[in-house]
Structure 1
Amino acid sequence: MQIAPRSGGPVPDVASLLARLAADGGRPRLTWYGDDGERVELSGAVLANWASKTVNLLVEEFDAAPGTRVVVDLPVHWRTAVWALAAWRTGATVALPEADLGQPDVVVTSSPDRWADAGADLVVVSLPALARRYDGDLPPGAIDAASAVMTYGDAIGWVPEVDPDRDALVTAAGAVGHKDLVPEPGDGARVLVDGRGAVADVLRDLLGVWAGGGSVVLTSATTAAALDADSGRLERLRGSERIG
């Protein structure tokens, strides 16, 4: 008898990927190692739940839809993955700060001072895992993501239909459309992803691993550098996290 792989075959889009993650129960899909020893583990279901709440915020607060331009000004981080997944689920275009996108509609950032005069709707993200509110002064009209996301429903409500021909991810190097966003699935392994990579590259690496039914151990840039400098610590991490 042939047993179907956990990935279920190719994944055509982020909507399909989130549906698979939501059905994945308690198996770890994203384990984050941040600075100062921070460790956060998200199962497929929990990751999809975070994305669903964020989708609802984007749609209800900003009418996010195909054509909406969302700048994600965040470092490599598990929260960055959630915001990107949510924006893509609405059909919006995610742009990194260096992209030549023109006037953004929404900016998602951990550094609000850089965008206070941008003329866009502003969402301020607190990166520490236990943050319940932004620890600083919010620009007028800005949304505090730490408190706002949790007020939205666990299941995605109405959401626009994604246009596969629109841009999904825009960087200084070019653009990738929604129909080409999810790479070829990986082999279902548990993978260590170096947080020193470019944000766009890391996000697509995550999509490919998840599409193949695998799971990710993602490090911050600082943690990745520390692991590089300490081979014993790296081997202990690989062993404890069962990284292939």
Structure 2
Amino acid sequence: MNATDRTPADLLRSALAADPGRPLVTFYDDGTGERVELSVATFANWVAKTANLLQGDLGAGPGDRVALLLPAHWQTAVWLLACSSVGAVADVGGDPAAADVVVSGPDALEAARTCRGERVALALRPLGGRFPQPPEGFADYAVEVPGQGDRFAPFAPVDPEEPALIAAGREFSGAEVVERARAEAPGLGLTGPGSRILSALPYDTWEGLNAGLFAALATGGSVVLCRHLEELGEEGLAKRIESERVTATRR
């Protein structure tokens, strides 16, 4: 994290330069038993590949709207940073009919078909697995992303004052995302490197996005992102908090 960082993508670049090997996102799905841990370097590699897919294959650029019909998931976090890297607006839960690109999980494919632009489907299977049968009219993210380049450079500069994120109908510029994430991090218990927040909040509000990604990124901390946490039970949660060295929780 540097004082000159103005967009979420800037925050990720700074994190990569500072300590690429440290954990950034640890994801649990207690409905399937999945656990995925991504270091800063691994997460940044996924972001670069996804940004190359978004810019190169899907033709998205600054100002284009990308509707993300996805739950709180490590791949959703990747798409949020890929949009920031390109300069596209990540519209979380937004209207696909009004979007230039839609990125959908398996439960939202019917709604996603109203997008007249490019459509990408995520199976959200363990280990980033692909669909057994690709949904008609969609590119399968797990098929398309592995062959993308490991480094990303935007075709056009990203303006931090332009819209970057829409959450629950509220629009944020890239600079606003960074400023709010930094300002609100202490209230979430994120005080700097070593801070580790467990979040089970959905990604459909600013609060969920901040607790589940942006605040940790802005402070040099890390996040344990949990889906279907209700399956775990209080005893299991206590064990996870201890084993993952969690310092703050939001659920």
TM-score class normalised by the smaller sequence: 0.7 to 0.9
- Superposition deviation, residue 159 in structure 1: 3.6
Do structure 1's residue 194 and structure 2's residue 189 form an aligned pair?
no
The counterpart of 1:214, out of the listed 211, 221, 237, is 221
Q: Contact 1:187/1:209 (CA < 8 Å) preserved in 2?
A: no
Q: In structure 2, what is the Cα distance between the partners aligned to 1:78 and 1:199?
A: 16
The match for 1:155 is 151
Do structure 1's residue 105 and structure 2's residue 100 form an aligned pair?
yes
> What secondary structure sits across from 1:95 in the alignment?
strand
- Superposition deviation, residue 22 in structure 1: 2.4
- Superposition deviation, residue 98 in structure 1: 4.4
**CA 1:137 to 1:153, structure 2 compared with 1: closer, same or farther past 3 Å?**
closer
The match for 2:61 is 65
The match for 2:242 is 239
Residue segments in structure 1 that go unaligned for 5+ positions in a row:
1-6
Q: Contact 1:51/1:86 (CA < 8 Å) preserved in 2?
A: yes
- Superposition deviation, residue 74 in structure 1: 0.3
Do structure 1's residue 33 and structure 2's residue 38 form an aligned pair?
no
The counterpart of 1:166, out of the listed 136, 148, 162, is 162
- Superposition deviation, residue 12 in structure 1: 2.2
Question: Structure 1 stretches (4+) deviating beyond 6 angstroms?
Answer: none
> What secondary structure sits across from 1:151 in the alignment?
coil
Q: Contact 1:56/1:152 (CA < 8 Å) preserved in 2?
A: yes
- Superposition deviation, residue 79 in structure 1: 0.5
Do structure 1's residue 226 and structure 2's residue 231 form an aligned pair?
yes
Q: Contact 1:70/1:92 (CA < 8 Å) preserved in 2?
A: yes
- Superposition deviation, residue 149 in structure 1: 0.7
Q: Could you report, residue by residue, the CA deviation over 1:32-63 in whole angstroms, capped at 9, with x for unpaired residues?
A: 01122110000011111100100111110122
The match for 1:3 is none
Q: Contact 1:193/1:219 (CA < 8 Å) preserved in 2?
A: yes
TM-score, reference length from structure 1: 0.86
**CA 1:75 to 1:242, structure 2 compared with 1: closer, same or farther past 3 Å?**
same
The match for 1:116 is 113
- Matched-pair identity in %: 34
Structure 2 counterpart of 1:133, which letter? R
**CA 1:103 to 1:231, structure 2 compared with 1: closer, same or farther past 3 Å?**
closer
The counterpart of 2:75, out of the listed 72, 79, 83, is 79
Q: In structure 1, what is the Cα distance between the partners aligned to 2:102 and 2:129?
A: 20
TM-score, reference length from structure 2: 0.84
Q: Contact 2:63/2:89 (CA < 8 Å) preserved in 1?
A: yes
The count of aligned residue pairs is 232
**CA 1:196 to 1:181, structure 2 compared with 1: closer, same or farther past 3 Å?**
closer
Residue segments in structure 2 that go unaligned for 5+ positions in a row:
none
Deviates more, 1:190-199 or 1:37-46: 190-199
Q: Contact 1:32/1:40 (CA < 8 Å) preserved in 2?
A: yes
**CA 1:163 to 1:131, structure 2 compared with 1: closer, same or farther past 3 Å?**
closer
Q: Could you report, residue by residue, the CA deviation over 1:183-210 in whole angstroms, capped at 9, with x for unpaired residues?
A: 2154120111113463543222311111
Structure 1 counterpart of 2:48, which letter? S
The counterpart of 2:12, out of the listed 14, 18, 39, is 18
Q: Contact 1:112/1:124 (CA < 8 Å) preserved in 2?
A: yes
